[in-house]
Chain A
């Protein structure tokens, strides 16, 4: 009990307290107080997380058990937290970026009524609480509690402005598509329970228990877990909810739909890395799905005009990268990219929010342009974010992307080619966005132009902080080829992946190959971004509609329409058929029919009792005759 890590319960508990205060006191609290409480609890959690991180760094890891959640003859599940290198890193990202976004929200959401303002912070705190449970849990059940909890908060926050039917549609879609993935997750957990009877990480990943699993079991379990990941982390085929989720307030998009929740799938696979390393088939599936998602989403992003939609598809694409990293066994690379992506994508979303705020709610980039001279801080920080995501050295995205691409090359050069082409597209659409928004001349209305202004400090402070992180965040894992004593993150996380690396050794590229690959990807991306700036800095509004392939991309490959046609509509038809035909006419008709035929039969038999003695005598005689005949012959 002397272990200082015993305190970790405070990390999720504080946001929970914030949720309760803001939720129950939403009518009493002033906006200032609600914002202060909402952000304050996250700051406190962040400070404790920093402390925990240094404890872990000095080698103090621990599973902290609080109480027995389920304890029966057949199932033992503790409410326990696992504090180790992986979870402590995620704690820092969640509470750190989370805190900045809470601060940002105090300004961004200022036009709301006080009680809605408090409600917003309550939901946001509840989200952080759930997300922390997800990464801190010491078994799959606690992870699943957080897993569905973040889904709930995502639902509540996407539908925050619940009067608008489109928004609540988007919220509903997000929850349901996540649930499809959740079913996969659950089935994997049932499979584990059936085979080895436990879901604690420490037990599941022990050699004794893994030996109980056949290769088919491991492949099945990992595939199902990956299905769960495709839901939460928006991969093919379950990615379509994420772009729609942009209906929520922009800080929510930054926190939930870019920096944290959508990386839950990557966390889960990283946590279970030993199982995945033992299932090469699943790894190939993950790599291919990840690559396909990365390319597909990048192509869609090329043609979107809504500033948030571009960022949303970019998120889907970057998540695809992370899965490629997981698929080729570059677990550190995937986690590294989660971290750098959290910095620069949160920055980009918050920057976009700042722009939308200044534009009075306008999200269409065709009506923007030339914002550079009105909002200096937003402009500079946004540019840094774009450079980071485009993979320009020495910004954060360069290092993490390089790590994944390098590992992909080592596995199969084709993976690398697809990945690097996606990187070029990324550079292109990000600088298209940048140029259309900040360069050229203003294309909005006169009113909008007058209203343009730099955002207040509560917005610029998170932007500046995140911009710094987007620049230097990659330096913690500078590759060994650049610097002696690099790969710091790799070393820090190595205990988590020890089991995997024992099975499949990490492949190292020759330094010359490594340099060549980097040069190709950097030069290509540079070319793409210069091309984009040239093309779009003088963008003029046109009324010409997209045709041909461009139209297909603008309409997102018609995937939503496809799902509607092959799943939603047939299901509705089937249900209507079951309701109207099978239920009403079939089963109930049969039941009622039995009743009616009994009624009918009774009415017919009743006719026999006519009350006329002659009839009765006749029937008696017939009866006697029948009995007589039976006696005679049998």
Chain B
């Protein structure tokens, strides 16, 4: 293919199509049509994303090759590209939305056209984050993904939504501002281009001349932004509140995809730009991550609210991913690559089940539920698979990633690995406890009215479960997709 003949590329399609679809949604009045159209639009996005995977061998789509003039006198350009990590995360974004829309198809919203338009806008923002190859473009989409979520939570959320979303917004926005300062500082140390003294391009950032001290200071500006987003202990307290108060489909986006923005940011914009500082502060981040894993796992054990349980469990899992990244080992980063995808799938599946329970019984309290397995055996079987994927049982998708991440942490320090490893025991404790209390035992008055899940829910959860098993038995394709990115990152700090 001759590049000159192509008028639009996959990364651009992945941004513009959801954006356009969202705009169209605004003009549809009928609720049913809104839902149908949104679902179709996300399926088309998924097809585009799968297309981008199939063309992965084509160097043309590689990083930084799609670039338009945009603020050229500032040294910025609208450049997007897809490398392995971009591909797997855009695929995650593309896969998640149809799953979320199908699973929540029966949920009713006021002004549903606005709701779905904002969701699609979020999708576009997320895609933009994952394909941006220019720091200013990255920052732009980083904020674009945040703002619709703010409105989604504050308009359609639970009782304490205003408080929770305000905290969420201020917290993440604070991080973003620090990052913006960081971006500008790095920018001033980049080499000149044809139009400008400096450049925002990712390669220019990688080549920026930064002294050891400069790296050390700038590292924290970026890291705090990403740490809040992931979140890393102790920057995590916005998360359980936000997950609890947001409408479920927004929570799914938040926990399944948005937290990956933080991990992605570290892998694309932090470690390669500040390799020396990353090695220097690796042990601090490692300490925070491992402490956070144990801390969050302990707290998860005493949660009575299913949403908060899932939130803390997710914090523990993200902690492991962050630790694996900062172990600065190839095997750890390889594990993170595939785990970013798998964690997204698994946590969304978990939310779907929690949402189903809440819709049917009106409660999320573990202590009030029980005996669901008698009433909904299919749901129970699917949940058990998802729950065991959540604790990384072998032959489910999470095992290989966790195994490799722990290996990476072990290479960094055997003691950290041993302590972090306690979280796999604690995870078993809170997960099995949840299964026992909610699904096993006797039926009570609340759960006696539960019905077996409907066909669309069965379908979507079965799809997820098949994905969980398939990727658990054959993880290799995901390694093949992300191989290039891992190699590129590793060369930056070796």
Contact = CB atoms under 8 A, between A and B. Distances in A.
Interface of A: 67-75, 141, 144-145, 147-149, 152, 155, 159, 162-163, 165, 168-169, 171-172, 175-176, 179-180, 182-183, 186-187, 190-191, 193-194, 571-572, 574-576, 578-579, 582-583, 587-588, 591-592, 595
Contacts of A582: 295
B486 A73 contact: yes
Interface residues of B, number: 55
Given A186-B406, A194-B407, A176 B299 contact: no
B485 to A, nearest CB: 12
B237 A587 contact: yes
Interface in B461-483: 474-476, 479, 483
A180 B428 CA distance: 10
Contacts of B374: 163
B299 A579 contact: yes
Q: Is the interface of A mostly helix, strand, loop or mixed?
A: helix
A180 B423 CA distance: 10
B298 interface: yes
B272 interface: no
A74 B170 CA distance: 41
Interface in B376-429: 388, 393-395, 399-400, 403-404, 406-407, 410-411, 414, 417-418, 421-422, 424-425, 428-429
Interface string B283-304: 0000000000001001101110
Interface stretch (B85-93, B191-199, B433-441): B433-441
B145 interface: no
Contacts of A571: 298, 301
Interface in B261-277: none
28 contacts: A69-B475, A70-B475, A70-B476, A71-B476, A72-B334, A72-B479, A74-B329, A144-B394, A149-B395, A162-B440, A165-B436, A165-B440, A168-B436, A168-B441, A171-B432, A179-B428, A183-B421, A186-B424, A187-B414, A187-B418, A190-B414, A193-B407, A194-B411, A575-B298, A591-B171, A591-B238, A592-B167, A595-B167
Interface string B158-193: 000000000100110000000000000000000000
Nearest to B412: A194
B393 A572 contact: no
A575 B330 contact: no
Given A71-B479, A190-B407, A575-B298, A183 B424 contact: yes
Contact of B425 (A148, A176, A578): A176
A583 B299 contact: yes
Given A70-B476, A145-B395, A579-B303, A172 B433 contact: yes
A23 to B, nearest CB: 8
Given A74-B330, A149-B395, A175 B432 contact: yes
B400 A175 contact: no
Contact of A68 (B298, B428, B441, B476): B476
Interface of B: 167, 170-171, 234, 236-238, 295, 298-299, 301-303, 329-331, 334, 371, 373-374, 388, 393-395, 399-400, 403-404, 406-407, 410-411, 414, 417-418, 421-422, 424-425, 428-429, 432-433, 436, 439-442, 474-476, 479, 483, 486-487
Contacts of B425: 176, 179-180, 183
B171 A73 contact: no
A172 B394 CA distance: 18
Contacts of B417: 187, 190
B479 A70 contact: yes
Contacts of B407: 75, 190, 193-194
A587 B479 contact: no
Contact of B394 (A68, A145, A191, A592): A145
A574 B441 contact: no
